[in-house]
Amino acid sequence: MSAILTALLLPLTADASFFRDVKPKRGLPELHASMAHSFVSHSNLGGAGPDNGSEAIHVGGIVASDDERTDLVIIAGSKYAANQPLENGVTHDFGLINFDCNTSAKLWFQFVDSEKRVQRNYSKMYVTLYDFDQSKDGMFEEATVSGAKSIWVTNTTQLVSTLTSTGGSFRSSVPGTSKDNPREKETMTQEQLDRSLTILFENTGEFEITLAVMPEGDGCSDYGRTFLYDFRPLLVNETMVQNVDVPAAVEDPGVQFHWPRGILHRNNLGGMGPSIDGLHGLVFKNVAYFDGNNVNFAVSVASGEYEPDRIENNGFLENWGKINGKCGSEVDLRLAS
């Protein structure tokens, strides 16, 4: 009987030589961020463009004061597809992220020092999502939240929710058009408030939200949908739908590898497949962010011959990277980022 040898790649921490040795900060401040004077310096979320290079959205000037200058970086941890990538950015004091129909993606939001590019941590971070509506043919918008401390909606909310222990999914239920989108934060209508959602994260400098635009009924329209967001505690005086006392560990500023948001870009270690494309190796994309760029992680054969038992098992296993090997085989692997 053959045995299976599987190597699990631990999530890397600050052991790599390019990591900055920065001690955790005490007495973390609350985040007071604004989209009003922010600007998009780079937009290529998930490689959808319109810019080239790093597959991220970089919003500068989220916090711009004499004491602090902070930027926002957004990357996609799963395949992201835009219908109109030019809509990604900032307008009317809101951030915008556009999605094509029948697609979803986990998005990772991270706050970084504008100059040092290291993560900034905060005791409280509020994020509000706006304009949950859908097309007349039923193409709806949905957000799935995890790791939240608290979540709020209005008493007359139009959102349909499915709650979990640390968050939940919230989807639209009423058709809307661009004419009813919020534009002025101080003059929002009750209908606009009823289509909004405020989320609190604590003791961190990053959070993840999965956004989706899904068809219902006759399928997708020829256009996508756009999500609006900012960092105001808009609905904290409304109805709290979740209050989960989950302690969140404060991570050191700097680079951290996050396998759950990675993408298996190439799966052909030692030329054994299963995706044979002429180039050998495993390539995990977007497993970290450092100094203004996404970090990829690659595994290749340094010497010897790689012998898999079940080649299709190479890739991800929950929060791990996984390499399958045949019992009795031996190979030297080269790991690079």
Distance CA 198, CA 235 (A): 6
pLDDT in tens, 180-233: 888 877 889 999 999 999 999 999 999 999 999 998 766 677 788 999 999 999
Distance CA 230, CA 216 (A): 28
The closest of 161, 178, 164, 73 to 117, measured between CA atoms, is: 73
Residue 253 has pLDDT above 50, yes or no: no
- What is the domain partition of the chain in residue ranges? 25-243, 259-336
Average pLDDT taken over every residue of the chain: 81
Least confident window among 77-81, 270-274, 326-330: 270-274
Beta strands 225-230; 122-130: pairing state: antiparallel
pLDDT band at residue 244 using 50, 70 and 90 as cut-offs: low
pLDDT in tens, 149-188: 999 999 999 999 887 766 789 999 998 877 788 887 788 9
User: What is the pLDDT, as a whole number, of residue 24?
Assistant: 45
Q: For 6-30, what is the mean pLDDT? A: 50
Tokens for 239, please give them.
């109805």
Residue 108's Cα: distance from chain center in Å? 2
User: What is the pLDDT, as a whole number, of residue 80?
Assistant: 94
User: What is the pLDDT, as a whole number, of residue 249?
Assistant: 43
Return the higher-pLDDT residue of 257 and 63: 63
CB-CB contact of 193 with 153 (8 Å): no
User: What is the pLDDT, as a whole number, of residue 303?
Assistant: 80
Distance CA 69, CA 297 (A): 30
User: What is the pLDDT, as a whole number, of residue 15?
Assistant: 36
Distance CA 190, CA 115 (A): 40
pLDDT in tens, 94-127: 999 999 999 999 999 999 999 998 999 999 999 9
For residue 5, the number of C-alpha atoms closer than 13 Å in the C-beta half-sphere is 10
pLDDT in tens, 274-302: 877 767 877 777 776 555 566 777 887 87
Report the share of the chain in percent with pLDDT over 70. Answer: 80
Return the higher-pLDDT residue of 140 and 260: 140
Tokens 């499915």 belong to residue: 162
Distance CA 62, CA 29 (A): 15
User: What is the pLDDT, as a whole number, of residue 256?
Assistant: 55
